[in-house]
Amino acid sequence: MKYLILVINPGSTSTKVALYENETELWSVNSAHESKELEKFPRLYDQFKYRRNIIMLELEARHVELKDLACVMGRGGLFPPVETGGYKVNEAMKNMIVEELIEPHASNLGCVLAASIAEPLGVPAYVYDCVSSDEMQEIAHITGLPEIRRNSLCHVLNSRAVTIEYAKRTNRPFEELDALVAHLGGGITMAALRGGRIIDSLADDAGPFAPERTGSIPLLPIIDVCYSGIFNRREMKRRVRGMGGLKALLGTSDCREIERRIEEGDEKAKLYYDAQVYQIAKGIGLLAPVFKKAPDVIILTGGLAFSEYITGGVKEYVGYIAPVEIIAGEFEMEALARGAYRILSGGEEAKEFVYKA
C-alpha cells in the first residue's frame, strides 16, 4: 500500500516539514525562525500557533490534500524516560506540553503540532525516538547525589539514524555495531550505541560546551550564581541552554561567522573555537570507556560536522581511539518517515504513552 506521511520536526530556530510517500520524500522545507521572533513568546507552548501557521501555509502552497494523509509524525520531546521507537500521541502526552510539566525543548512541540493536524482528519499522530528515550544500563544512571538520577538525554533520533546509515555503507548489521556518536549542533550530545541501544550518553549539559549551550561546568560557582539574585530560575535555565557556549563567549553561535573572524586574524575567536574542538574531543574520550574496548567507529554528525575546522581538529585528538566517520547534517526527517511507515505497514507497533507523576 502507499501511505502519505506528513513529518514535522520543530527545532530551536526552525521548523522542518516534509511529505513522504512510504519512505520516499516528495518534498521538504526548512522554515528558519529569527531569534527575535521566538523571543516574543514567554513560554515554549506559546510558539504553537506561530509554528502551526507556518506549517499550514507550506501545505497550502504545495496544494497538499490533507484528506489523503495516512498519519502525521512529529519529533518526540523530553517526556519522562521512555523506550525508543514510536508512540501514538495521546491526551497525557499533549497535556505535559500545554501545562509545561517537562523541561522546555523545541522538540516537545512535535506532538501537539502533529496532533493538531491529524485529529481533525481522523488519522493518527505519532512521535518517534523521543529525545528522552532511555535504554541506558543501570550503572550509568547513578550520580554522586542520591536525590539526582542521571537519565539519557541526547539526539536519539539522529544518533540512531546515522549509525544505521553507517551500517548500510559498510554492509554491517546495525545491531552488531559499537558506535560512539557525537551530534554537533546548537547543543552537543554524545551517544554510545551497542546492539542498537544507547547504553550511555552525555546530555548537552553534561559534556562539551556548544554554540548555544554552556555544557558541563564547575558546580560550586554555578550554585553561587543561582543564589546571587542576578537571575531567576527561568533566566538561569535560558542562560545555560540557549544563551551559553560560543554565543556567550563570542556574541554569536554562527560558526561560519566565527571561522570568518579566525581567517581575518581574530585570536580571541580562534582560542574559543579551538576550545570548542578540544571539549568535543574530551566528551568523546569521557564516553569511550563504556565499551570496554575500542568502538568500531566514532561518528561526527549534526550541522557543525560540515565544518572541516571542527571535524579535522577532533580527528587529531580522538583518531587513535577508533576510525572517525563524518556524516554531516542530520537524517531526522528520513528516520521519522521510516518509523511512521514501519508502524503503518505493520512492521512495528506504536506504544502507548503513560504519564506517572
Question: Is 240 part of any domain?
Answer: yes
Rounded distance, CA 70 to CA 47, Å?
Answer: 26
> Using CA atoms, how far apart are residues 256 and 260, in angstroms rounded to an integer?
6
CATH number reported for the structural domain that contains residue 200 in this entry:
3.30.420.40
Phi-psi label, residue 183: left if phi above 0, alpha if psi -120 to 50, beta otherwise: beta
Burial of 63 (0-12, 13-18, 19+ CB in 10 A): exposed
Domain membership of residue 66 as a residue range: 4-135+332-352
pLDDT surpassing 90 at residue 82:
no
Residue 131 is assigned to a structural domain of this protein: yes
Range 192-221 burial, b when 16+ CB lie within 10 A, else e: bbbebebbbbbbbbbbbbbbbbbbbeeeee
Is the CB of residue 232 less than 8 Å from the CB of residue 241?
A: no
> Could you tell me if residue 357 is inside a domain?
no
What is the C-alpha to C-alpha distance for residues 200 and 159, in angstroms, rounded to an integer? 12
Q: In the prediction, which pLDDT does 273 show?
A: 98
Q: How many domains does the chain have?
A: 2
Q: Which of 66, 20, 16 is nearest to 345 (CA)?
A: 20
> Is residue 116 domain-resident?
yes
Between CA 77 and CA 202 the distance in angstroms is 17
Q: Are residues 61 and 185 in the same domain?
A: no
Whether 288 has a pLDDT exceeding 70, the answer reads yes
> pLDDT tens for residues 29-66?
999 888 788 888 989 999 999 999 999 999 999 999 99
Based on the domain organization, do 202 and 250 belong to the same domain?
yes
196 in the same domain as 287: yes
Residue 263 CB partners (closer than 8 Å, separation 6+): none
Judge whether 151 lies within some domain: no
pLDDT, tens digit (0-9, with 9 covering 90-100), for 161-217:
999 999 999 999 999 999 999 999 989 999 999 988 999 999 999 999 999 999 999
pTM of the model: 0.85
Q: Residue 159 has which C-alpha cell?
A: 544518533
Q: How many angstroms separate the CA atoms of 125 and 127, rounded? A: 7
Looking at the domain assignment, is residue 46 inside a domain?
Answer: yes
Asked if 131 and 209 sit in the same domain, the reply is no
Per-residue pLDDT at 357 exceeds 70: no
Question: What is the C-alpha end-to-end distance of the chain, expressed in Å?
Answer: 40
Q: Residue 289, class by beta-carbon neighbours within 10 Å (0-12 exposed, 13-18 middle, 19+ buried)?
A: exposed
| Residues 25, 124 within the same domain | yes
Within this chain, do residues 175 and 125 fall inside the same structural domain, yes or no?
no
pLDDT at 345: 96
Q: Are residues 109 and 199 in the same domain?
A: no
Domain assignment present for residue 143? The answer is no
What's the pLDDT score for residue 100?
86
Domain identity same for 301 and 196: yes
Query: pLDDT for 89-142, tens place per residue?
Result: 999 999 999 988 888 888 999 999 999 999 999 999 999 999 888 889 899 999
- Do 119 and 251 lie in one domain? The reply is no
Q: Which three cell numbers stand for residue 147?
A: 536525590
Distance CA(135)–CA(157), nearest Å, equals 13
